[in-house]
Structure 1
Amino acid sequence: MRELLLGLLLLPGIALAGEGPPAERQAELLYLLRQDCGSCHGMTLRGGLGPSLLPEALADRDPETLAGIIRDGVPGTPMPPWGFEITREEARWLARRLKQGVEP
Protein backbone atom coordinates (compact mmCIF):
# COMPACT_ATOMS: atom_id res chain seq x y z
CA MET A 1 0.00 0.00 0.00
CA ARG A 2 2.79 2.39 0.93
CA GLU A 3 4.54 1.77 -2.42
CA LEU A 4 1.29 2.45 -4.30
CA LEU A 5 0.79 5.75 -2.48
CA LEU A 6 4.38 6.78 -3.15
CA GLY A 7 3.98 5.89 -6.82
CA LEU A 8 0.82 7.99 -7.09
CA LEU A 9 2.57 10.95 -5.49
CA LEU A 10 5.45 10.73 -7.97
CA LEU A 11 3.29 10.47 -11.11
CA PRO A 12 2.66 14.21 -11.58
CA GLY A 13 6.39 14.95 -11.43
CA ILE A 14 7.14 12.22 -13.94
CA ALA A 15 4.45 13.55 -16.27
CA LEU A 16 5.83 17.09 -16.07
CA ALA A 17 9.36 15.92 -16.74
CA GLY A 18 8.20 14.36 -20.00
CA GLU A 19 6.22 17.39 -21.20
CA GLY A 20 7.49 19.52 -24.01
CA PRO A 21 10.56 19.24 -26.18
CA PRO A 22 13.89 17.78 -25.00
CA ALA A 23 15.93 19.96 -22.64
CA GLU A 24 18.39 21.05 -25.34
CA ARG A 25 15.55 22.19 -27.61
CA GLN A 26 13.88 23.97 -24.67
CA ALA A 27 17.08 25.98 -24.20
CA GLU A 28 17.06 26.86 -27.93
CA LEU A 29 13.42 27.93 -27.75
CA LEU A 30 14.04 30.11 -24.70
CA TYR A 31 16.98 31.71 -26.50
CA LEU A 32 14.72 32.36 -29.52
CA LEU A 33 12.14 33.86 -27.16
CA ARG A 34 14.62 36.18 -25.50
CA GLN A 35 16.44 37.27 -28.66
CA ASP A 36 13.92 37.19 -31.48
CA CYS A 37 10.65 37.78 -29.63
CA GLY A 38 12.46 40.18 -27.30
CA SER A 39 13.50 42.36 -30.23
CA CYS A 40 9.86 43.46 -30.60
CA HIS A 41 8.30 42.60 -27.25
CA GLY A 42 11.18 44.06 -25.25
CA MET A 43 14.20 42.24 -23.92
CA THR A 44 12.39 41.84 -20.59
CA LEU A 45 9.16 40.95 -22.46
CA ARG A 46 7.41 43.97 -20.91
CA GLY A 47 6.41 45.27 -24.33
CA GLY A 48 7.85 47.47 -27.03
CA LEU A 49 6.78 47.39 -30.66
CA GLY A 50 4.74 44.33 -29.64
CA PRO A 51 2.64 43.95 -26.48
CA SER A 52 3.87 42.67 -23.13
CA LEU A 53 4.38 38.92 -22.86
CA LEU A 54 4.36 38.87 -19.07
CA PRO A 55 1.95 36.44 -17.36
CA GLU A 56 -0.36 39.21 -16.14
CA ALA A 57 -0.73 40.52 -19.70
CA LEU A 58 -1.52 37.01 -20.97
CA ALA A 59 -3.78 35.95 -18.10
CA ASP A 60 -6.96 35.96 -20.17
CA ARG A 61 -5.34 34.41 -23.26
CA ASP A 62 -5.81 30.73 -24.03
CA PRO A 63 -2.48 28.88 -24.52
CA GLU A 64 -3.77 27.30 -27.73
CA THR A 65 -4.60 30.74 -29.15
CA LEU A 66 -1.17 32.03 -28.15
CA ALA A 67 0.47 29.03 -29.82
CA GLY A 68 -1.46 29.80 -33.01
CA ILE A 69 -0.26 33.40 -32.94
CA ILE A 70 3.32 32.24 -32.44
CA ARG A 71 3.14 29.80 -35.36
CA ASP A 72 0.96 31.77 -37.78
CA GLY A 73 1.74 35.39 -36.89
CA VAL A 74 -0.88 38.13 -37.12
CA PRO A 75 -1.60 39.33 -40.66
CA GLY A 76 -1.49 43.09 -41.08
CA THR A 77 0.78 43.54 -38.05
CA PRO A 78 4.55 43.26 -37.52
CA MET A 79 4.00 39.86 -35.78
CA PRO A 80 5.63 37.33 -38.13
CA PRO A 81 4.82 33.62 -38.34
CA TRP A 82 7.35 31.33 -36.67
CA GLY A 83 5.89 28.08 -38.02
CA PHE A 84 8.91 27.65 -40.28
CA GLU A 85 11.14 27.56 -37.20
CA ILE A 86 9.09 25.73 -34.54
CA THR A 87 6.58 22.90 -34.43
CA ARG A 88 3.02 23.21 -33.17
CA GLU A 89 3.95 21.41 -29.95
CA GLU A 90 6.93 23.71 -29.41
CA ALA A 91 4.64 26.72 -29.88
CA ARG A 92 2.28 25.25 -27.27
CA TRP A 93 5.20 24.74 -24.90
CA LEU A 94 6.32 28.36 -25.40
CA ALA A 95 2.78 29.60 -24.79
CA ARG A 96 2.57 27.66 -21.52
CA ARG A 97 5.98 28.97 -20.45
CA LEU A 98 4.97 32.56 -21.22
CA LYS A 99 1.81 32.17 -19.12
CA GLN A 100 3.94 30.82 -16.23
CA GLY A 101 6.57 33.52 -16.60
CA VAL A 102 10.01 33.38 -18.16
CA GLU A 103 13.18 34.80 -16.64
CA PRO A 104 14.59 37.57 -18.87
Structure 2
Amino acid sequence: MQHTLTQHLRRRFLEFSLSDARPGREGAFFLTGAGIGWIVLLMGVVVFSAPALAREPLALPTERARELVRMVRQDCGSCHGLTLRGGLGPALLPETLRDKPPDGLKYTILLGRPGTAMPPWQPFLSEAEADWIVAQLLRGFPEESK
Protein backbone atom coordinates (compact mmCIF):
# COMPACT_ATOMS: atom_id res chain seq x y z
CA MET A 1 0.00 0.00 0.00
CA GLN A 2 2.80 2.44 0.85
CA HIS A 3 4.48 1.78 -2.50
CA THR A 4 1.25 2.49 -4.41
CA LEU A 5 0.60 5.67 -2.41
CA THR A 6 4.14 6.89 -3.06
CA GLN A 7 3.76 6.23 -6.79
CA HIS A 8 0.42 8.05 -6.82
CA LEU A 9 1.85 11.08 -5.00
CA ARG A 10 4.85 11.23 -7.34
CA ARG A 11 2.62 11.00 -10.42
CA ARG A 12 0.23 13.71 -9.14
CA PHE A 13 3.15 15.96 -8.18
CA LEU A 14 4.65 15.58 -11.65
CA GLU A 15 1.31 16.21 -13.37
CA PHE A 16 0.68 19.36 -11.38
CA SER A 17 4.22 20.67 -11.58
CA LEU A 18 4.17 20.34 -15.38
CA SER A 19 0.71 21.88 -15.80
CA ASP A 20 0.12 25.58 -16.41
CA ALA A 21 -0.93 26.20 -12.82
CA ARG A 22 -1.07 29.78 -11.56
CA PRO A 23 -2.72 31.35 -8.53
CA GLY A 24 -6.32 32.27 -9.27
CA ARG A 25 -6.64 29.94 -12.24
CA GLU A 26 -9.82 27.92 -11.78
CA GLY A 27 -9.36 24.17 -11.53
CA ALA A 28 -5.59 24.42 -11.49
CA PHE A 29 -3.54 23.08 -8.64
CA PHE A 30 -0.91 25.54 -7.50
CA LEU A 31 1.90 24.38 -5.26
CA THR A 32 3.26 26.96 -2.91
CA GLY A 33 6.47 26.45 -1.03
CA ALA A 34 4.43 25.26 1.95
CA GLY A 35 2.43 22.86 -0.25
CA ILE A 36 5.60 21.31 -1.62
CA GLY A 37 6.96 21.03 1.92
CA TRP A 38 3.87 19.11 3.05
CA ILE A 39 4.09 16.74 0.09
CA VAL A 40 7.79 16.08 0.72
CA LEU A 41 7.08 15.51 4.42
CA LEU A 42 4.22 13.10 3.66
CA MET A 43 6.32 11.19 1.13
CA GLY A 44 9.15 10.94 3.65
CA VAL A 45 6.84 9.54 6.31
CA VAL A 46 5.43 6.98 3.87
CA VAL A 47 8.83 5.92 2.52
CA PHE A 48 10.62 5.72 5.86
CA SER A 49 7.79 4.04 7.75
CA ALA A 50 7.23 1.34 5.10
CA PRO A 51 10.11 -0.94 6.21
CA ALA A 52 8.98 -0.79 9.84
CA LEU A 53 5.39 -1.57 8.87
CA ALA A 54 6.51 -4.43 6.65
CA ARG A 55 8.33 -6.10 9.54
CA GLU A 56 5.54 -5.67 12.07
CA PRO A 57 3.83 -9.07 12.22
CA LEU A 58 0.10 -9.43 12.28
CA ALA A 59 -1.25 -10.73 15.56
CA LEU A 60 -2.71 -14.10 14.63
CA PRO A 61 -4.92 -16.27 16.79
CA THR A 62 -2.69 -18.61 18.79
CA GLU A 63 -4.03 -21.75 17.11
CA ARG A 64 -3.46 -20.37 13.59
CA ALA A 65 0.05 -19.23 14.53
CA ARG A 66 0.78 -22.78 15.75
CA GLU A 67 -0.56 -24.20 12.46
CA LEU A 68 1.65 -21.85 10.44
CA VAL A 69 4.74 -22.67 12.50
CA ARG A 70 4.07 -26.38 11.92
CA MET A 71 3.44 -25.79 8.20
CA VAL A 72 6.68 -23.85 7.75
CA ARG A 73 8.73 -26.31 9.81
CA GLN A 74 7.26 -29.40 8.09
CA ASP A 75 6.12 -28.41 4.59
CA CYS A 76 8.64 -25.67 3.84
CA GLY A 77 11.25 -27.60 5.81
CA SER A 78 10.93 -30.55 3.44
CA CYS A 79 12.84 -28.46 0.86
CA HIS A 80 14.50 -25.74 2.95
CA GLY A 81 15.63 -28.16 5.67
CA LEU A 82 13.78 -28.92 8.90
CA THR A 83 15.99 -26.36 10.65
CA LEU A 84 15.50 -23.98 7.67
CA ARG A 85 19.27 -23.98 7.08
CA GLY A 86 18.86 -25.00 3.46
CA GLY A 87 18.44 -28.14 1.41
CA LEU A 88 16.88 -28.33 -2.05
CA GLY A 89 15.77 -24.73 -1.40
CA PRO A 90 17.92 -21.95 0.08
CA ALA A 91 18.31 -21.30 3.81
CA LEU A 92 15.50 -19.27 5.40
CA LEU A 93 17.52 -17.69 8.20
CA PRO A 94 17.53 -14.00 9.17
CA GLU A 95 21.12 -13.56 7.97
CA THR A 96 20.36 -15.04 4.53
CA LEU A 97 17.10 -13.10 4.10
CA ARG A 98 18.23 -9.74 5.51
CA ASP A 99 18.92 -8.14 2.10
CA LYS A 100 15.70 -9.41 0.51
CA PRO A 101 12.68 -7.08 0.32
CA PRO A 102 9.86 -8.36 2.57
CA ASP A 103 7.29 -7.96 -0.21
CA GLY A 104 9.46 -10.06 -2.52
CA LEU A 105 9.59 -12.81 0.09
CA LYS A 106 5.83 -12.60 0.64
CA TYR A 107 5.03 -12.93 -3.05
CA THR A 108 7.53 -15.76 -3.46
CA ILE A 109 5.61 -17.59 -0.72
CA LEU A 110 2.21 -16.80 -2.23
CA LEU A 111 2.98 -17.21 -5.94
CA GLY A 112 5.90 -19.63 -5.90
CA ARG A 113 8.76 -19.49 -8.39
CA PRO A 114 7.89 -20.73 -11.88
CA GLY A 115 10.48 -23.12 -13.26
CA THR A 116 11.65 -24.14 -9.77
CA ALA A 117 10.45 -26.52 -7.08
CA MET A 118 8.97 -23.57 -5.10
CA PRO A 119 5.17 -24.03 -5.19
CA PRO A 120 2.56 -21.29 -4.73
CA TRP A 121 1.03 -21.30 -1.25
CA GLN A 122 -1.69 -18.77 -2.07
CA PRO A 123 -4.47 -21.40 -1.99
CA PHE A 124 -3.59 -22.06 1.67
CA LEU A 125 -2.49 -18.65 3.00
CA SER A 126 -3.81 -15.11 3.10
CA GLU A 127 -1.51 -12.17 2.36
CA ALA A 128 -1.60 -11.27 6.06
CA GLU A 129 -0.48 -14.80 6.99
CA ALA A 130 2.33 -14.64 4.43
CA ASP A 131 3.37 -11.28 5.96
CA TRP A 132 3.40 -12.96 9.38
CA ILE A 133 5.59 -15.79 8.08
CA VAL A 134 8.03 -13.31 6.50
CA ALA A 135 8.22 -11.29 9.74
CA GLN A 136 8.92 -14.47 11.71
CA LEU A 137 11.58 -15.63 9.23
CA LEU A 138 13.33 -12.25 9.46
CA ARG A 139 13.38 -12.53 13.28
CA GLY A 140 14.35 -16.19 13.47
CA PHE A 141 11.49 -18.60 12.94
CA PRO A 142 9.98 -20.09 16.12
CA GLU A 143 10.29 -23.77 16.92
CA GLU A 144 7.23 -26.00 16.89
CA SER A 145 5.61 -26.22 20.30
CA LYS A 146 5.10 -29.79 21.45
Q: Distance in 2 between matches of 1:35 and 1:100?
A: 19
Q: Note the C-alpha offset of 1:19.
A: 2.9
> Where in structure 2 are there 5+ consecutive unaligned residues?
1-55
Q: Distance in 1 between matches of 2:95 and 2:122?
A: 25
For these two proteins, the number of residue pairs brought into alignment is 88
Bigger Rg, which one? 2
Q: Note the C-alpha offset of 1:63.
A: 1.4
Aligned residue number for residue 81 of structure 2 = 42
Equivalences for residues 59-78 of structure 1 within 5 A: 59-78=98-117
The question of whether the paired residues in 1 share the 8 Å contact of 2:136 and 2:142 is answered with: no
TM-score by length of 1: 0.80
| Cα offsets for 1:12-60 (capped at 9, x unmatched) | xxxx7x9332111011000000000000000000000000000000010
Q: Distance in 1 between matches of 2:111 and 2:86?
A: 20
Q: Percent identity?
A: 50
Q: Note the C-alpha offset of 1:103.
A: 3.5
> Where in structure 1 are there 5+ consecutive unaligned residues?
1-15
Computed over aligned residues only, the root mean square deviation of the Cα atoms, in angstroms, reads 1.5
